[in-house]
Amino acid sequence: MTQTSWRAAIFNRRMLICVFTGLASGMPLYVLFQLVPVWLSEGGVSLVEIGLFSLVGIPYTWKFVWAPMMDRWVPPFLGRRRGWMLITQVALLLSIGVFGMFQPAQSTWVIAWLAVAVAFFSASQDVVLDAYRREILPDEELGMGNAIHVQAYRVSSLIPGSLSLILADVMPWSSVFWITAGFMSVGVMMTLLVSESKVELPPPSGLRDALIAPFSEYLGRRGWSGLILVLVFMFLYKIGDNMATALSMPFYLEVGFSKTEIGLVAKHAALWPSIVGGLCGGLIMVRVGINRALWLFGVVQVASILGFAILASSGPELWLLASVIGFEYLGVGMGTAAFTAFIARETSKTYAATQFALFTALAAVPRTLANASTGLIVEQIGWVDFFLFCTVLALPGMLLLFWVAPWNGDQKTALQERAGTG
């Protein structure tokens, strides 16, 4: 890639759009999992009930069920993507603001159903934002665009996870929720200002065809063997990394760190390196391509898991805690950027909503398995051996890169495209 094309791939309007898609996409999730639990706890709801609120996240893993309808049917205004974007964003703005109208202890069930509605609208917004991003980004910009989206997603946590909590100390919750909801206007303004993507719609069809077409298109393009390889790769590429961090907080406490040390060091050592790693990963992908980035960042991911094994055997050294977490989340940021770009590249622009939703839902399976199984494994083998086990578990995903993302695969694809247009 030449210096001119490299700069053009980074400094353009599409990258700015990715900033706003990330902010709009992340904010509702952090409202549900950072702001609402604090509000419920302060309102007298028990810890058991607050813990059950994690179930409201189910729509995020089942969004592929209704994604085909968002792929196929066009709202009567703004177009297929922008129309759905506006509907979901206005619904989120209103439903988040309404939280503050209820008293947690007296209306716990009503709040629970409202939280499910917010999760549904949020997951639906993710479906259409992911599809829109796939449609406007050329393949060579998928890495940088998705990296920017993911990091803006993380930065959005500062609104419900920081600003809203500060405001809750000086004003009523009813005002806090409406102010927080007001930040969804960032997404609404983006939707109104951007142009609809220029992707040809499939011919009119019934519900059955709308559900089947996205899957038959992918099978026609990749075949059963390609589909199975990609699904196995998506399951395995980050499973070792996901398992290593699933019990990070209990691990830090068992090593001997105080809650103050964890709060001051661990959180900041995780957030900012992951953001820097994601942005650096995006820049690197512009230069080397998605395939090589998966190899390079995968090696960083595997190596970073070993840092936890060193920490487990060294005791509560604060500098080591910061170093291990910083390196781990640098790898997380890079690996996530490349992995998200890979998923985007696998989707068809015509059926981007359905295919992207399905792949991201399947990619979340390792996190679910990690949360379910890691505690039992640690009890059986101890922390050091657990982290060594996670390192070994990360290797099969790396080996699958030989088939799903060969080292020179990006260059071969580029040559084929040039030959086809020459």
Tell me which of 86 and 346 has the higher pLDDT: 86
Whether 93 has a pLDDT exceeding 90, the answer reads yes
pLDDT level of residue 414 (50, 70, 90 thresholds): very low
User: Contact at 8 Å (CB) between 83 and 164?
Assistant: no
pLDDT score, position 48: 66
Whether 88 has a pLDDT exceeding 70, the answer reads yes
User: Contact at 8 Å (CB) between 197 and 138?
Assistant: no
* Structural domain spans, the chain: 1-195, 206-422
C-alpha–C-alpha distance, residues 9 and 6, integer Å: 5
Q: Which two tokens stand for residue 5?
A: 């094309």
pLDDT score, position 192: 92
Tell me which of 319 and 277 has the higher pLDDT: 319
User: Contact at 8 Å (CB) between 273 and 329?
Assistant: yes
Whether 313 has a pLDDT exceeding 80, the answer reads yes
Classified by CATH at the fold level, domain 1-195 comes out as Growth Hormone; Chain: A; (1.20.1250)
- Listing DSSP states for 91-117 in one string gives HHHHHHHHGGGS-TTTSHHHHHHHHHH
Give me the chain's average pLDDT, please. Answer: 79
pLDDT level of residue 125 (50, 70, 90 thresholds): very high
Q: Which two tokens stand for residue 264?
A: 């001051």
Whether 3 has a pLDDT exceeding 60, the answer reads no
pLDDT score, position 191: 93
C-alpha–C-alpha distance, residues 327 and 148, integer Å: 20
C-alpha–C-alpha distance, residues 324 and 271, integer Å: 13
Q: Residues 206-422: name the CATH superfamily.
A: MFS general substrate transporter like domains (1.20.1250.20)
Whether 294 has a pLDDT exceeding 80, the answer reads yes
C-alpha–C-alpha distance, residues 46 and 322, integer Å: 33
Tell me which of 372 and 285 has the higher pLDDT: 285
Whether 141 has a pLDDT exceeding 70, the answer reads yes
pLDDT score, position 4: 47
Angle of CA points 296, 238, 346, to nearest 5°: 75
Q: What is the pLDDT of residues 187-219, one digit of tens each?
A: 999 999 988 877 666 654 666 666 677 777 787
C-alpha–C-alpha distance, residues 297 and 143, integer Å: 13
C-alpha–C-alpha distance, residues 379 and 238, integer Å: 22
Q: Which two tokens stand for residue 192?
A: 């109104």
Low-confidence winner among 52-61, 388-397, 398-407 (lowest mean pLDDT): 52-61
Q: What is the pLDDT of residues 360-376, one digit of tens each?
A: 777 766 666 665 677 77
% of the chain at pLDDT higher than 90: 12
CB atoms within 10 A of CB 117: 18
pLDDT level of residue 420 (50, 70, 90 thresholds): very low
pLDDT score, position 228: 85
Low-confidence winner among 99-103, 210-214, 385-389 (lowest mean pLDDT): 210-214
Q: Which residue has the tokens 């700069």?
A: 7
Q: How far is CA 18 from CA 21, 311, 406, in A?
A: 5, 37, 27
Q: Which two tokens stand for residue 33?
A: 């999992």
DSSP-derived 3-state class of residue 377: helix
User: Contact at 8 Å (CB) between 57 and 143?
Assistant: no
Residue type, 88: T
Q: How far is CA 134 from CA 22, 129, 130, 183, in A?
A: 13, 9, 6, 24
Q: What is the pLDDT of residues 26-79, one digit of tens each?
A: 889 888 877 888 788 777 777 666 666 667 777 887 888 888 888 778 888 888
Radius of gyration of the chain (CA): 22
% of the chain at pLDDT higher than 70: 84
Low-confidence winner among 81-90, 264-273, 319-328 (lowest mean pLDDT): 264-273
Per-residue b or e along 388-411, where b marks 16 or more CB atoms closer than 10 Å to that residue's CB: bbbbebbeebbebbeebbeeebbe
C-alpha–C-alpha distance, residues 100 and 60, integer Å: 23
C-alpha–C-alpha distance, residues 218 and 222, integer Å: 6
User: Contact at 8 Å (CB) between 123 and 196?
Assistant: no
C-alpha–C-alpha distance, residues 156 and 230, integer Å: 30
Q: Which two tokens stand for residue 410?
A: 């990006």
How many alpha carbons fall within 13 Å on the CB side of residue 122? 29
The answer to whether 1-195 and 206-422 have equal CATH topology is yes
- Listing DSSP states for 245-295 in one string gives HHTHHHHHHHHT--HHHIIIIIHHHHHHHHHHHHHHHHHHHHHH-HHHHHH
Q: Which two tokens stand for residue 388?
A: 């060594």
| H helical segments located in 102-238 | 108-136, 142-155, 158, 164-168, 173-182, 185-193, 207-236
Question: What's the gap between Cα 52 and its chain centre?
Answer: 22
Nearest to 303 by CA among 396, 403, 395: 395
